[in-house]
Amino acid sequence: MTGPAAPDPAFERKVRESFGRQRAMATLGARLVRVAPGEVDVALPFREDLTQQHGFLHGGIVTAVVDSACGYAALSLMPAGTAVLTVEFKVNLVSPARGERFLARGRVVRPGRTLMVCAGEMIVEGAGPEQVVALMQATMMVIRDREGLAD
């Protein structure tokens, strides 16, 4: 089964350039590792300065990275000349975020002209079986009038 087609043939470049301008992800050390129509993966190495009081990756950091993965998955299916903004999300932190490397996966569940529903997850990357630490459902908005928004 094939996924949705990207209406913008330059979708990957658009996603990578936008991610490159996102200073929050650069501050966290997150890297865009995979871009496909409707799907994006963002890698995050463990850093002690991103932990909470018990030494786990902080839930706010987890949420920010999965939100970005979902947003860029949505952007990959948006027409040229548009931008993306998160409208809402819900996160379940299902396991302590403990490990050396994390991978946030975002994918579009329901593309739309104005709103796109996405699902995201963060997993611990490592030698053993995948362990999910967070699940997200998010709604992303297609921004057509980009006045006031940076590219």
- CATH number of domain containing 33: 3.10.129.10
Q: Which pLDDT score is estimated for 128?
A: 78
> What does DSSP assign to residue 57?
B
C-alpha 47, offset from chain centre: 19
Q: Is residue 81 part of a domain?
A: yes
Would you mind telling me the total number of residues written for the chain in this entry?
A: 151
The overall average pLDDT reported for the chain is 94
pLDDT average, residue stretch 19-26: 96
Number of domains within the chain: 1
Instruction: For residue range 29-57, list pLDDT tens digits in order.
Output: 999 999 999 999 999 999 999 999 999 99
Going by C-beta distance under 8 Å and a sequence separation of 6 or more, which residues neighbour residue 33?
41, 42, 43, 103
- CA 24 – CA 130 distance, rounded (Å): 26
Full domain range(s) for residue 46: 11-143
Q: Is residue 148 part of a domain?
A: no
Q: Which amino acid is at 48?
A: E
Going by C-beta distance under 8 Å and a sequence separation of 6 or more, which residues neighbour residue 148?
none
pTM of the predicted model as reported, rounded to 2 decimal places: 0.94
